[in-house]
Each structure stands twice: as C-alpha cells, then as structure tokens.
Chains A and B, each alone.
Chain A
Amino acid sequence: MSEALIELRNLTFGWTRNRVDLEIAALDIARGERVFVRGASGSGKSTLLSLLAGVNVPRSGTLRVLGQALGSLSGTARDRFRAEHIGYVFQQFNLLPYLSARDNVVLGLNFSRERATRVANRKAMADELLQRLGLDARHIGALASELSVGQQQRVAAARALIGAPELIIADEPTSALDADTRDQFLSLLIDASTAAGSAVLFVSHDSGLRAHFDTTLDLHTLNRARVA
C-alpha cells in the first residue's frame, strides 16, 4: 500500500461550465499527516475539500485518495468510498434535524462496513465522543434541530470521528465554539487521529491553531485560479 493518502496533479474544477474556481498544480498528503488549511473566504477551501471527499469530481487532472482515482468512480461508488474512509465535518454541519444527537452520530455506521466493525457498542461510543466534546446527557438525547449552533457543530464532529476513518476532513469545525470548547475539540481530534493513524485536513481562519498541525496549506498560493 502506498504511503500517499492524497495525490493530486494538475487539477481544475469549476462550479459552472465557463468558470474555473479551482486550479492546483500538485498536492500530496501522507497517511496520518495533519494539515492546517487556510485562505481568505471564497478562496476555494470548501471546494477543494468537496473534491477530496468525492462530493464533486475534478474537471481535469488526476486525484487519487488512498490510491483510488475518484474521478473514475460512479457517484454511488464515491458515496461508498467516502462512507468507508472519510469523516467529513461539513461547514454547514448537515445533520438530520429530526434525529437525536446520538442517532446522528451513529447514522453513518449503518452505511459503512469497515467503520462499523471498529465500533463495538455504537451507542456507547457515540455517547463517549459527545461527552468528550462537552455535550451533557440531556443534549445527547435531544433532537438535532433543538440544539444550539455550537452543539450541532460538535455533533457533526463526533459523527466524523466515529469509526476512526483514514481521513478526517473538518471544514471550519470550530467556527461556532468558544475558546474552551474549541480546545476540547482540538485535543479530542488530535488524540483520536493519533490513536487511529488518521490524517486530518482542518480548515480554519484561526491562525492560533496552526501549532497543532504538521503542515499548513494556504489556498491563496495553492489555487492558481485565484492568483490569475
């Protein structure tokens, strides 16, 4: 198995036909590497992450994740690939409002065989993750739609961490958190990824967090579509 987690060459992507929103010459991320991603708003951070997670496919160039060329997979195959290997904290959380916090965390395990085998007791694991992120028992059982924005964000984070995926993608996961909760989340993220050997891609505008990561990516320099 190759050491590379992500291997990206001459990639372009545009949200609409006559536009190029993202153009990257090369990007390599190793397994277990922790990467801090920064860049001005609109510089293409979320767009890049959506490509790495197979939500979108590149217009041109090659993109390999865990040796798999995502562009050549069907939509359904990419869904399965993502479910098995990637935990994604969406910038807009994307929780199901009518399920409890706990059920939202457990939900993904139903669709991912590999991640499910790593979790012996789903409910206990979900509760533990949520507790470590500072949610009390009352909120763990509450509907996602009845949680505060910061609480929802932590549920989304727990959902990405459960089952120890190879890659954790977190798109501004601390934007709605206070300093204490943010630190709690960060230490959990570092602990969990170290224990599981997961790589982390972490988008944030908070430069103070850079110290926790191995490398820093600046979309401003990486994305040539913006430079031009």
Chain B
Amino acid sequence: MLLKIARSSLYNRRISALLTLLTIAISVALLLAVERVRVETRNSFSNTIAGIDLIVGARTGPVQLLLYSVFRIGDATNNIRYATYEEIAKHPQVAFAIPISLGDSHRGFRVIGTTADYFEHFRFGDKRKLEFAAGEPFADLYDAVVGAEVARALGYTLGQQIVVAHGTGRVDITRHDDKPFRIVGILARTGTPVDRSVHVSLQAIEAIHIDWQSGARLPGRAVDAETARTMDLQPKAVTAVFVGLKSRVAAFSIQRQVNDFRGEPLLAIMPGITLAQLWSLIGVAENALRLVAACVVIAGILGMITALVTTLNERRREMAILRSLGARPWQIGLLLVIEAAVLTALGATVGVIVLLLGMVALAPWLASAYGIFIQPFAMGVPELILVGAVVVFGILAGLVPALMAYSRSLSDGLSIRV
C-alpha cells in the first residue's frame, strides 16, 4: 500500500519529480564519465607498449618523445640519422631495434615507415604480438599494412589502392598521388594507436619523397613510381627507434650510453618510467576533475532534498491525512524515503544509460582525437560502488524531509485552507 501511495503521489507530481530525476541522472553520468575516462586513459596508455626497454629519439622532452613515438600525439621536431639507428642495432646488448619514421598521413591516420621487425617484435597489452586479420607484412616497395580501425573506418580490403598525403593534418592537402600503395595486410584489433596507423617500409617513405625537398614537390623533376624503384632508396633518417635488450638489467647503462652519444644529440627513455612521469603530470588535473564530479553529485542530491522539502509544504495536507487515518511516523517517513530512493535509483539508472549512449557515440572521436580507446560496456565494480554510494546518499537525504514531516502538528496539516 505504501508503495502504491508513493507511486501515485510521485506520478501526481511527475514534472518536478522528472526534473529532480534528470538532475541526479546528469550528475551520476558526469561522475561515471570522469571515472571511466580516467581509468580508460590509464589503461589504453599503459597497454600501448610492452616488451620495449628503451625508446631512442632526437633530444627533446622524455614525455614528448613518448607521446609522438608511441601514442602518435604531436609531431617530432627532429629526426635521427639512419646511421645512428644502425649503430644502435649493432650494439651487443641489443636484441632488436625497430626504426620508425613518421610525418605522413592517410586521411587523418598516421603513416609509419618501419621494417619487418615491427611485426616481429612489437608488443602491446600483456606482451601480445601483432597479428594479421588478413594478408601479410609488406614485401614490395609500394605495399602497405593497415591497422584494424583504418580498415574499418575507411572500409578497406586487401588489394585496394591508397594514396599517402604529406604532413599529418586531418585533411590530405598535398598528396603523394603519383605513388599509390596497395594494401597487402590488415592487422587484428589491438585497442592501441596501432589500429589507427598505416604501415609501409622505410624505403617507401624514401621513395615518395624522392622528388620532394623541405615539404614541397620539386618543380619539373617529378619521378614516377617505376623510375623510383631503380633509384637509391637507402633511408637517411628515422624518427625514433624502439629497442629491446637482451637483458633488462642493462637498460640503465645503455640509456646512459645513448644519452652521451657523440654523433648527434639523442634521448633514450624507458617507457614505464616516462609513463609514470606522465601520470604525475596528469594526476593533479585528474584529481581536480574527480573533485568537480563529486561536487556535481552533491549539488544534484542537494537539489533533490530541496525538491523534496519544497513539495513537503504542499504535501503537509497529504501527510496529515495519512496520520489522521492512523499511519505511523515511520510509515510516513518510509514514504518519503521510498520516494527519495526511487528518484535516486531511477536517476542513477538513467544516468548510466545516458553515459553508455554518450560513450558509444563519442568513443570514435575520443579514439581519433586523443588516442583514448573507451570500452563503453566495460563498467566494473568501482562504478557499481560509486552508483551505490550515490543511491545510499540519496536515501539518507530522503530522511531529512521525513524527519521534518513528522515534526509538524496534525491539526496544522488538516486545516490547510484553499
């Protein structure tokens, strides 16, 4: 019966109840969104690279080197000489060295020049190897291997021709359209920036730039694709080198050797340590964000208390009628608490649904703009605890008007006049 009264009474005040519900829904969605993005950011960042002991690039900030080489965020300011890469690869402690060359793109996706070692030695997540969903590594000069997201977003299949553009803008302005590539491999999904990359050989990068100088095509000296094959395609520079060591113990000493390298200014970083640096940078902003989200939830619940207390005045008569019929204080209290519980529980549910829809809608954009791969349906225990806490908090908040309701006198409520 109490449930029926609560339901009918709520329905009777559905507009204000709906607004209260929305307030709670929005605050819950916001709280969870912040938490989700925070966790997913960490996850996708730390899952991106594994089994790489050192990353070597031109001298710059460690975080910057990590961002452009691994996460494909931002651009390298300088390259390192190919000879330097060869020297690193020859080092007795080095098990493998994967060179990468960045700077071109294909319809918003980064193009990376590398060697077959990339498919052999690159690891992500818990040391998983790259796998081919279809096809195989590049063999010919104009072969390309695309990531899962590239294939999905652009609808690519094996054998299709693609054209690489100069620079890394969203829109392909200057295109290397005289030397198209053929897709020979499509990688399986990894949930890392690899999915959003197009892989070609270092020689291919050399070939498409053979008639270019400082970012512009040399007039009157166009070299067609077949002629380029016959020319000297020895790479002259790479952007960074992923290094795997025979023994991790050597990491520090090799890092020092690289940093002290005389040939040119180099920087070697250990991905794990630099990632930790990145976290301490982000941590402050992260906590500020969580604080704001918590404040929004508190504001939402205060809004609900306000709504309950203001309707209480209108509902004094309702409470008095129930009392006059013999309803006990706890029953009237329960009525208000049920109402608060229903409002917060429904609000939280709507909030979660809104969040899921929002994430499904925004996930592609987050992935392309920030390299954050969100799994909308991966809500876990922490989220449940958060939602539970909000509902409990809301129920406790319902006690405030419940206590107020009973402190009023009966004849007061019964003799409210029109």
Residues on A lying within 8 angstroms of B by beta carbon are 50, 55-56, 75-76, 79-80, 82-84, 88, 90, 92, 94-99, 103, 107-108, 110-112
Give B316-360 as 1s and 0s: 1 = Cβ < 8 Å from A's Cβ atoms.
011011111111110100000000000000000000000000000
Contacts of B417 in A (CB 8 A): 92
Name the contact of A103 in the complex, choosing from B4, B11, B322, B323 (C-beta under 8 A): B4
Number of A-B contacts (CB under 8 A): 65
Closest 10 CB pairs of A and B: A83-B326, A111-B326, A98-B12, A108-B325, A98-B8, A110-B1, A94-B321, A55-B411, A111-B327, A56-B411
* Assembled-state Cα–Cα distance A95/B320 (Å): 11
**Looking across the interface, which residue of chain A has its beta carbon closest to that of B318?**
A96
Q: By the criterion of a CB under 8 Å from any partner CB, how many residues of chain B are at the interface?
A: 26
Name the contact of A108 in the complex, choosing from B320, B326, B409 (C-beta under 8 A): B326
Assess whether B410 is in contact with A107, with CB atoms less than 8 Å apart: no
Whether B5 sits at the interface, judged by CB under 8 Å, is yes
Assess whether A112 is in contact with B321, with CB atoms less than 8 Å apart: no
Give B389-418 as 1s and 0s: 1 = Cβ < 8 Å from A's Cβ atoms.
000000000000000000001110011010
A163–chain B nearest beta-carbon distance, Å: 11
Assess whether A96 is in contact with B5, with CB atoms less than 8 Å apart: yes
What is the predominant secondary structure among interface residues of chain B facing chain A?
helix
B180–chain A nearest beta-carbon distance, Å: 71
**Looking across the interface, which residue of chain A has its beta carbon closest to that of B328?**
A76
Contacts A50-B411, A55-B411, A75-B410 hold; do A99 and B328 have CB atoms under 8 A apart?
no
Instruction: With a 10 A CB-CB cut-off, give which of A56, A96, A97 has the most chain B CB atoms.
Output: A96
* Assembled-state Cα–Cα distance A90/B414 (Å): 9
Whether B9 sits at the interface, judged by CB under 8 Å, is yes
Contacts of B323 in A (CB 8 A): 79
Assess whether B328 is in contact with A96, with CB atoms less than 8 Å apart: no
Contacts of A84 in B (CB 8 A): 326
Assess whether A82 is in contact with B414, with CB atoms less than 8 Å apart: no
Assess whether B321 is in contact with A95, with CB atoms less than 8 Å apart: yes
Assess whether A88 is in contact with B326, with CB atoms less than 8 Å apart: no
Instruction: With a 10 A CB-CB cut-off, give which of A79, A84, A90 has the most chain B CB atoms.
Output: A79
* Assembled-state Cα–Cα distance A83/B323 (Å): 9
* Assembled-state Cα–Cα distance A107/B4 (Å): 11
Assess whether B325 is in contact with A83, with CB atoms less than 8 Å apart: yes
A177–chain B nearest beta-carbon distance, Å: 20
Assess whether B324 is in contact with A79, with CB atoms less than 8 Å apart: yes
Assess whether A107 is in contact with B328, with CB atoms less than 8 Å apart: no
Mind listing 20 A-B residue pairs with CB under 8 Å?
Answer: A55-B324, A76-B328, A76-B329, A79-B326, A79-B328, A80-B328, A82-B324, A82-B326, A92-B414, A94-B317, A94-B324, A95-B321, A96-B9, A98-B9, A99-B8, A107-B1, A107-B5, A110-B1, A110-B327, A112-B326
Name the contact of A79 in the complex, choosing from B4, B317, B318, B410 (C-beta under 8 A): B410
Assess whether B327 is in contact with A99, with CB atoms less than 8 Å apart: no
Contacts A76-B328, A83-B326 hold; do A55 and B414 have CB atoms under 8 A apart?
yes
* Assembled-state Cα–Cα distance A84/B322 (Å): 14
Assess whether B325 is in contact with A107, with CB atoms less than 8 Å apart: yes
Contacts A55-B414, A90-B414, A103-B4 hold; do A96 and B321 have CB atoms under 8 A apart?
yes
* Assembled-state Cα–Cα distance A99/B2 (Å): 12
**Looking across the interface, which residue of chain A has its beta carbon closest to that of B7?**
A98
Assess whether B410 is in contact with A80, with CB atoms less than 8 Å apart: no
Instruction: With a 10 A CB-CB cut-off, give which of B9, B320, B326 has the most chain A CB atoms.
Output: B326
**Looking across the interface, which residue of chain B has its beta carbon closest to that of A95?**
B321
**Looking across the interface, which residue of chain A has its beta carbon closest to that of B4?**
A103
13 further A-B pairs in the complex, CB-CB below 8 A; given A83-B325, A111-B322, A111-B331: A50-B411, A55-B414, A75-B409, A79-B326, A83-B326, A94-B321, A94-B324, A95-B321, A96-B5, A97-B12, A98-B11, A111-B325, A111-B327
